[in-house]
Each structure stands twice: as C-alpha cells, then as structure tokens.
Chain A
C-alpha cells in the first residue's frame, strides 16, 4: 500500500497505524496524526490505513 509518511511517499506492508510504526522502526515517545487528525496511541492498533493516507509521526524536539 502506498502512503505518505512524514512527507515522503512509501510503499508499506502495514495495515494498521501501529504496524506501520513497527515496520518503519519508530520506538519511544512519538505522537501520530493521519490525514491531519490526531490519533492517540491507544487507538493505533485499531486504526486501519488506507491507500494514500498522509501520516505524521512526531517526537520531542528543541523549541522556544
């Protein structure tokens, strides 16, 4: 399935958001949004991905 992960097109096997995080090697503290909507970590297992979904995975970063 083709998706867009953090702005880059990817071809992935994952069918859910939690599988995607595992497949792409994310671990630790991250937050997720799909198609500009926040998806809490508790809902990632149940969140099915669809062709063309835009997924954002963010983590702590320096800020002012």
Chain B
C-alpha cells in the first residue's frame, strides 16, 4: 500500500465522524470497521466545552486524525481554518475542501490549487478534495500535494462512482500518487468498486452514519474495501462480450 506523506495507513478506510445518532454509535462504527483515519472538523466552541468531550473520545479511538476545512468558500477562509486545525489537532495533515457550488458542493478547483500551494509552502501536508479532472490533479501535484482525493459523486449523495472512466484515467495518469475516492459512496459495492480500480483508500461518512445500523454498515464497508483491494492485487480478468466455456470440452462423453 502506498504511503500517505510517509505514513502507512493501517487499512484503506477513512471514516468521517459526523451525523451519527450518538457518540456511542460513532465509537462502535470505528471499532467494527477498524478504520485507521478519522476526519474531524472545527466549529465554534460553546460554554459547555462540547469540543473537548468529542476530542477525548477521538483520542481514545487511537486513529490518525485528518481535520477538514469543510464549508470554506475562499482561499483566505480555508488557509485560516487549516492553521487553526493544525494547532488544535497537532497534525500537519489537512483535508482541504474549498466549496464552489452550493447544491453540488463541487470543489472550486481554482481556489483549491491556490490554497494548496500556500499551505504546502507553510509546511502542511494537504489532502485536496478535488474533482476527477486530470489537469487539476497535475496542478495540485505541482502545488506540492502528494495525495489526491477526487470525488466519486457529490458529498452525501450516495450515488457511488459517477464517472468510472475519469477515475480510471486518473489512476492511469498518476500511478505512483496515493489516490482516495472521497465523497459519494453509498454502498459497500461502491467502495469495493473504487478499490478494484486501484484506488488506495476510500473516504466516506454519510453512508455509514446515516445507515439504520451504522456499526454494521461500517463493518460492511471495511470488508468491501478489503475485498476490492485484494481483487485489484489479484489482477482481475477483462470483461468480454461473448461467452467462453469454463468447463473443458475435451473428454466430454458422446451421448447423442
């Protein structure tokens, strides 16, 4: 498995921490899936100190923490959020989100490249949430990113891999870059599909957190990424249009 800024992931599942019915269920989902990376965020702290309780729980999970810049719409906002995240979470990792469109939450790739450049120069290790555009991918790498995280489909949509062709092209174009399908996964089959294409990890949240049984779905996702990864390593056959008998014809009894 490829290394992410010099770090080995324990497995190819990155799991979000939002939208679970309760903190206890969130914890079960992480235990059941053994996800090695948790995405987290920053929000205004209230008088009750809810953030501190959440942080204690995440630390007890013993996972790698990937803070995001969710909800940011400008370079300035994203860069400031990244600095605050680095101080609070004590990590140079940042999942860089720069939202360009309200309905699709499509990344604003122009601002994304600019923010990635600024943050990389400042010592951050940027995980950019991007589209499946190859040129944008090239620009992000030129800006200093060593990981790319293209969307499968819009965040929270659960539609799976909207453009398999583009994701295949991305894998072929950047064979040595750790690639993560981030967003759009709805089912374990989607996650397995991404891994079968040769992606290095899958990042998902809503599909697990909003399932009727999040812990069970988390486990299903973990098994799916494992199966997809193994299948990719096993060099799958090419699909063909016509049948090809699998049972040998030689030696068949003559009975008519």
Give the interface of A toward B (CB within 8 A): 6-7, 24-33, 36-38, 40-41, 56-64
Given A63-B18, A64-B16, A64-B155; A29-B55 close (CB under 8 Å): yes
Give min CB distance, A25 to chain B, whole Å: 6
Cβ-defined partner of A61 (8 Å) among B54, B80, B205: B54
Q: Is the CB of B58 within 8 A of A59?
A: no
B149 at the interface (CB under 8 A from A): no
A30 partner residues in chain B, CB cutoff 8 A: 45, 51, 88
Please tell me if the beta carbons of A64 and B44 are within 8 angstroms of each other in the complex.
no
B49 close to A59 (CB less than 8 A): yes
Contacts of A58 in B (CB 8 A): 42-45, 51, 84, 88
- Nearest Cβ in chain A — how far from B181, in angstroms? 14
Tally of contacts, chain A with chain B, CB under 8 A: 106
Q: Which residue of B lies closest to A40 (CB)?
A: B87
Name the residue of chain A whose CB is nearest to the CB of B95: A63
The answer to whether A59 and B55 touch across the interface, beta carbons within 8 angstroms, is yes
In angstroms, Cα B40 to Cα A36, docked, is 21
Q: Give the Cβ gap from A19 to chain B, nearest Cβ, in Å.
A: 17
Q: Which residues on B are within 8 Å of A, measured CB to CB?
A: 16-20, 26, 39-45, 47, 49-52, 54-55, 58, 67-68, 70, 76-77, 80, 83-85, 87-89, 155, 205-206
Contact call A64/B70, Cβ cutoff below 8 A: yes
Q: Which 10 residue pairs across A and B have the least CB separation, nearest first?
A: A59-B51, A63-B41, A64-B16, A31-B84, A64-B205, A59-B45, A61-B43, A28-B52, A60-B55, A62-B18
B26: A residues at CB distance < 8 A: 62
Bound CA–CA A41/B86 (angstroms): 12
Q: Are B44 and A60 in contact (CB under 8 A)?
A: no
B47 neighbours in A (Cβ, 8 Å): 24-25
Instruction: With both chains docked as a complex, state the minimum distance between the C-beta of B190 and any C-beta of chain A, in angstroms.
Output: 16
Whether B87 and A59, one on each chain, are in contact in the complex, defined by CB atoms closer than 8 angstroms, is no
In the bound complex, CA of A11 to CA of B215 (Å) = 46
A24 CB to closest chain B CB (Å) equals 8
Which of A29, A31, A38, A64 contacts B17 (CB under 8 A)? A64
**Closest A-chain residue to B59, C-beta based?**
A60
